[in-house]
Chains A and B, each alone.
Chain A
Amino acid sequence: MTATTVTPKTPASGARVRVRASRLVLYTVLVVITGLMLGPFGWLVITGLKTTPELAASPVHWLPDKIQWHNFADAFTQIDFLGYARNSLIISLIYATLVTLSSAWVGFGFARLSAPGKKVLFGVLIGSMMLPQMITLFPTYLIFAKLGMVDTYWPWVLWGLSAAPYLVFLFRQFFAGMPRELEEAAIVDGCGYTGIFWRIFLPQSWPVLTASFVIAFTWSWGDFIAPMLLLSSDRTTLSVALMTSYVTPSGLPVNNLLAAGSVMYVVPILLIFLVAQRGFVAGMSTSGLK
C-alpha cells in the first residue's frame, strides 16, 4: 500500500482561490462587455476593408478574402477629406470653447447667486432641452438668413455664446457643491463675484470643464443637420460630406467607402476622449450626474 499525503488547504489559500475565481469571472464579464461595445466599431473597420460583393455575400464573409486597404485611401482621396475635417475642427473648436465658458458662467450664476424667479428661470432652461432640434430648424435658418449669416460660421459662434442647457446644469451641479466658505473668504478679501468665478471656482473646475468641452466638441463634430442646413458644399463639415459623397453616380451609397470614411471620421473623437478621459470621468462624477 502506498501512502499518499494530502496537503490540507489553509484558510488563506482558499481565500486566494476564491479571489482568483471571482476575478476570473469579473474579467471574463468585462471582456465580453468590452467585446460587445467594440463589436460595432470592429464591424465598421472590417466593412471598410471588404469589396462591394463581399459586403453582400451570403453566408456572411466575416473577414475579407483580401484586405482592401485602398478603400481607406479611396475614401480619403475621393473627397477633400482633410479640407472637410478642418472645417469640422474649426466649427467644433469654436463651439466647444465658447459654449463651455458661457455655460460655466451661467451655471455659476444659477449655483451661487440668488434672485427672484431663479428657480423658474432654471426650470425653463432645463425644459428647453425637451425641444427637438427639428422644430427650430426652419426659424433658425430664417433668422440667420436675415442676419446674413448663412454660409458663415457665425451661427456656431452665437450658439457657443448662448450656453447649452445640459452643460449649464452640469456646471450648476458642480459649483453648487463647492463650500460656501471659499466664497465668503474671497469676499472678505475684497474679491467680487467675477473674481470669485475666474480666480477660485473656474480653476478648480477642470474636470467639469474637460467633460463639458468633450461633450460639446462631440456634439458639434457629429452634427449633420445644422451644417447641412446652413453651409454650402465648400464650407460644410465632414459629417455632411461623408453622408453625401460616397455614392454611385446615381446617388446610392457605396458602403465600403462609407465605412472606411466613417472609421477615419471617428478617430479624432477617440483621440480626444483618450487624452481627456480622466477629466471627463471626474467631471461627470463630481457634478452629481454619474
Chain B
Amino acid sequence: MRPHAGAPLSRRRFLSLSAGGAAAGAAALSGCALQVAGAASGGGGESITVMAELNDLGPELIQQAQKELGIRITVVKNDITRLIAMITSGNPPDLVRGLGALDAPYFAARGVAENLDPYFAKSSILKVDDLDPANDLWRYDGKTQGNGPRYGMAKDFSQDAMFWYNTSHFDKAGLAYPSETEPITYEEWLDNAKQLVRRKNGQTTVYGGSYNGLGLGILFTNLTAAAGGSLFSADFSRVDFTTPEARRALAWYVDYAKTRVGPSLIQPNPDAWDGPTYVANRMAMSGNGYWLGGMIYPEPKVAPVSRLAPAPVFEGGPRLSSCQSATGLWMPKKARNKDAAWRVFEWFFGEAPAKARAEGGWGIPTLKSLRPLMPDKEAYQQRVLKTQQAELEHFSVTPFTPYIKWDALEALINQVIPAAMRGEISVDILAGRLNSTVNEQMKRGKEQVG
C-alpha cells in the first residue's frame, strides 16, 4: 500500500510488525488455550473417540470406562455434518450413535459401517442368542433390513406404536379404558381422543391424545405396515403414498391433525414433546412406548393412574408392534482402534451401563438376560410390565429405505403436509405431492448408493 505521506520504511515496519505481532499473539495465547480441564482425564493406555450425545457417555461413565477397561473415551457431539467431515478427513470416530431403525440401512448400504458379526461371534458378553429381536433393526443384508450382518446394537428400545393413557381423563369423560391386552383400532383411538380433548376459550387445556411417532416419515412407514402394505417399493428405491394402505394411513393422520385432538405441525405442543405435558396431567393418551415410563414413574400423581396399551391396529390389518428407533452405536469401517472400540461396545451394551439403563425404566434392555432388572416394585409398574411383556410377542421389524436420510424425509413431509392438515388440499393431492417430492430425493440417494 502507498501511504498518503511519509517514509517507505514505516510501511515495511507496519507490515513486518503485523506479521510479527500475529505470530507472537498466536504463540502467547495458544499455550494456555490448549490445556483445559474437562470431563475426560489424561493418562496412558488406549483411547477411542465416540460420537454420541453428551448425556450418553457423561463424565462418570467416561471415568468408569477408564477405570474398568483402561480405555480413554473422547466424546464428540453427535452431528451428521461432523460425522461426514470426520469420515472424509480419514479420521472417523471409533463408535457412532445412531437410530437402528433408520440409520442402519443408510450407512450399511453406503459401505461406511463395519460388519460386527465376527466380533459378536467371539464375544462372551454379547451372545447372539441373548440379543433381543429389536437388535435386528441393526441388520441389513444389502436389500432389506432385519436380516444379514449386524452393523450395530441398540442400547434399549420400546415398541413405539404402543400408547400410554391416563385413566383419570377417561373417568371424567365417562369412557371405557382401552384394553391392556387386546389392541384397539386406530379409528377407536381417534374417537376416544375426540371425546377426551378439553378446550377453554379456544385453547386446548387437555390434549385428547398425541400420536406423532418419532417423526412423520417413520410413522407413515409403520402406519402403512399396520394397514397391511408397504410405503416403499420392493427395492426400497421409491415411496408410494397412493396405495390403499398408505392412503389409509395418511388419511387417518390428516384426520388426527385436522380435528386438533393432539399436537401436530399445525398445533405444536409448547412443551416440544409429550413427556412434560403428560406428567402435567394435560394429555389423556400419548403414543409412546415403554420408555416414557422413565418420565412417568417419578410423578406420584400421574404414575398410579397411567396404563400402557398395545399398539393399535387398522381394521382388517395385521397386528404389528415395531420399534421406531433402536438407538445405539455402530462402528465405522475405517475406525482406527476397532478392538478398543469393541471392548467399550461390549461394556456399554452388556455390563454396568446396560444394567443401570435397564433399572431406569427408560427402555427395554436389548439383552434378554437383563429383562429381570426392569422396574417392577410398584403395582402400576407390574401392570405396565405385564402389558409390555405380552406385546413383545408381536414385535416386528418394519424395514426402512437406505436411499434417504430419515431427517431429510421428515423435512420433505413437513413442507408438504400442513396444507392437507388445514384442509386446503385433499389427501389424494397430498399423496401425489409427497410421491413426487420424496421420490425425487430418493432418486439421488439411489444414484449415490448405486
Q: A: which residues have CB within 8 A of B?
A: 52-59, 80, 83-84, 86-87, 90-91, 94, 97-98, 101-102, 105, 109, 112-115, 118, 137-138, 141-142, 145-146, 150-154, 156-158, 160-161, 180, 183-184, 187, 191-195, 197, 228-229, 231-236, 240-241, 244-245, 247-253, 255
CB contacts (< 8 Å) of A58 on chain B: these are 203-206, 280, 282
Contact of B89 among A142, A180, A184, A250 (CB under 8 A): A142
Given contacts A87-B36, A114-B1, A234-B40, contact A98 B14 (CB under 8 A): no
Task: Name the distance in Å between A105's Cβ and chain B's nearest Cβ.
Answer: 6
Task: Name the distance in Å between A218's Cβ and chain B's nearest Cβ.
Answer: 19
Contact B10 A247 (CB under 8 A): no
CB contacts (< 8 Å) of A152 on chain B: these are 30, 33-34
Contact of B3 among A80, A90, A113, A235 (CB under 8 A): A113
Contact A53 B279 (CB under 8 A): yes
In this complex, what residue of A is CB-closest to B155? A249
Contact of B25 among A52, A101, A137 (CB under 8 A): A101
CB contacts (< 8 Å) of A138 on chain B: these are 81, 84-85, 88
Given contacts A94-B33, A161-B26, 16 further A-B contacts (CB under 8 A): A53-B299, A55-B271, A55-B280, A56-B280, A80-B59, A90-B33, A97-B25, A109-B1, A138-B88, A145-B89, A153-B36, A154-B26, A154-B34, A233-B57, A249-B362, A252-B275
In this complex, what residue of A is CB-closest to B33? A153
What are 8 A-to-B residue pairs whose CB atoms are below 8 Å? A105-B18, A142-B85, A154-B26, A161-B26, A235-B36, A247-B55, A248-B275, A251-B55
Q: Is B351 an interface residue (CB 8 A)?
A: no
Tell me the chain B residues, 75-130 only, with Cβ under 8 Å from chain A.
Answer: 75-77, 79, 81-82, 84-86, 88-89, 91
Q: Is B333 an interface residue (CB 8 A)?
A: no
Task: Name the distance in Å between A211's Cβ and chain B's nearest Cβ.
Answer: 20
Task: Name the distance in Å between A154's Cβ and chain B's nearest Cβ.
Answer: 6
Q: How many A-B residue pairs have CB under 8 A?
A: 212
In this complex, what residue of B is CB-closest to A154? B30
Number of B residues, CB within 8 Å of A = 74
Bound CA span A248–B205, Å: 25
Contact of A245 among B1, B55, B74, B204 (CB under 8 A): B55
Contact A195 B10 (CB under 8 A): yes
Chain A interface helix/strand/loop/mixed: helix
Given contacts A138-B81, A248-B362, contact A193 B29 (CB under 8 A): no
Contact of B6 among A90, A91, A192, A253 (CB under 8 A): A192
Contact B10 A57 (CB under 8 A): no
Contact A249 B3 (CB under 8 A): no
Bound CA span A1–B394, Å: 101
Task: Name the distance in Å between A44's Cβ and chain B's nearest Cβ.
Answer: 15
Contact of A233 among B5, B38, B271 (CB under 8 A): B38
Contact A141 B89 (CB under 8 A): yes
Task: Name the distance in Å between A121's Cβ and chain B's nearest Cβ.
Answer: 10
Contact of A232 among B32, B49, B279, B294 (CB under 8 A): B49
Q: B: which residues have CB within 8 A of A?
A: 1-7, 9-11, 13-14, 17-18, 21-22, 25-26, 29-30, 32-34, 36-40, 49, 53-59, 74-77, 79, 81-82, 84-86, 88-89, 91, 200, 203-206, 270-273, 275-277, 279-282, 291, 294-295, 299, 327, 357, 360, 362-363
Bound CA span A263–B283, Å: 29
Task: Name the distance in Å between B44's Cβ and chain A's nearest Cβ.
Answer: 17
Chain B interface helix/strand/loop/mixed: mixed
CB contacts (< 8 Å) of A98 on chain B: these are 25-26, 29
Contact A228 B59 (CB under 8 A): no
CB contacts (< 8 Å) of B279 on chain A: these are 52-53, 56
- Which of A59, A86, A152, A157 has the most chain B CB within a 10 Å cutoff? A157
Task: Name the distance in Å between A153's Cβ and chain B's nearest Cβ.
Answer: 3
Contact of A255 among B26, B49, B56, B276 (CB under 8 A): B276
CB contacts (< 8 Å) of B272 on chain A: these are 252-253, 255
Task: Name the distance in Å between A58's Cβ and chain B's nearest Cβ.
Answer: 4
Bound CA span A97–B39, Å: 27
Contact A232 B205 (CB under 8 A): no
CB contacts (< 8 Å) of A145 on chain B: these are 85-86, 89, 91
Contact A80 B39 (CB under 8 A): yes
Given contacts A56-B282, A59-B205, A193-B11, contact A232 B29 (CB under 8 A): no
